[in-house]
Chain A
Amino acid sequence: MQHSVFSPMGPEAARIAELAWLLFLGGGAIFLLVMLALLLALGGGEGVRRRLGARRAILAGGVAFPVAVLSALLLHVLGVAAALGAGGREPALRIEVTGRQYWWEVRYPAQGITTANEIRVPVGRRIELLLDSGDVIHSFWVPALHGKRDMIPGRVTSLRFSLDRPGVLRGQCAEFCGTQHALMAMLVIAEEESAFAAWVARHKVPVAAPADPTLALGWQAFGRAGCGACHAIHGTPWAGRSGPDLTLLGERRSLAAGTLDNHQATLAGWIAGPQEIKPGNAMPAFNTVLDGKELRALAAWLESLR
Chain B
Amino acid sequence: MMRARAPGFSAITGALAALLVWAGHFTLIYGAHALACERGFADAALLGLPAVPALVLGASLAALLAVGLVGWRAWRRLDGSLAAEAGEDAPRFLAWLTLATALLAALAILWEAVPVLLLHSCR
Q: Do A and B bind each other?
A: yes
Q: Which residues of B come within 8 Å of A, CB atoms?
A: 107, 111, 114-115, 118-120, 123
A35 in the interface (beta carbon within 8 A): no
> Is B114 in contact with A74, judged by CB distance below 8 angstroms?
yes
Sample 9 A-B pairs with CB under 8 A, ordered by A number: A67-B107, A70-B111, A75-B118, A78-B114, A78-B115, A79-B118, A81-B118, A85-B119, A85-B123
Shortest CB-to-CB span from A131 to chain B, Å, is 14
A82 at the interface (CB under 8 A from B): yes
Q: How far is the CA of A85 from the CA of B119 in the complex (A)?
A: 8
Task: Give the docked Cα–Cα distance between A207 and B53 (Å).
Answer: 54
Contacting B at CB under 8 A, from A55-81, are 67, 70-71, 74-75, 78-79, 81
Contact A82 B111 (CB under 8 A): no
**Residues on the B chain within 8 Å of A71, using CB:** 111
Please report the C-alpha to C-alpha distance between residue A85 and residue B123 in the assembled complex, in whole angstroms: 8
Q: How far in angstroms is the closest Cβ of chain B from A143?
A: 22
Question: How many residues from A make CB contacts under 8 Å with B?
Answer: 11
- Kindly state whether residue A86 has any CB partner on chain B within 8 Å: yes
Measured in the bound complex, the distance between the Cα atoms of B117 and A82 in whole Å is 10
Q: Interface majority SS on A: helix, strand, loop or mixed?
A: helix
Chain A residues closer than 8 Å to B120, beta-carbon distance: 82, 85-86
Chain B residues within 8 Å of A82, by CB: 118-120
How far is it, in angstroms, between the C-alpha of A81 and the C-alpha of B117 when the chains are bound? 12
Return the chain A residue nearest B100 by Cβ. A63
Distance in angstroms from A98 CB to nearest chain B CB is 21
User: Which residue of chain B lies nearest to A80 when distances are taken between CB atoms in the complex?
Assistant: B118
Q: Shortest CB–CB separation between residue A122 and chain B, in angstroms? A: 26
Chain B: minimal CB distance from A71 (Å)? 7
Task: Give 8 closest A-B pairs by Cβ, nearest first.
Answer: A78-B118, A82-B118, A85-B123, A82-B119, A78-B115, A74-B111, A81-B119, A78-B119
Closest CB of chain A to B99's CB: distance in Å? 12
* Cα(A86)–Cα(B118), bound, Å: 11
What distance in Å separates the Cβ of B114 from its nearest Cβ neighbour in chain A?
A: 6
Instruction: For B114, list chain A residues within 8 Å (CB).
Output: 74-75, 78
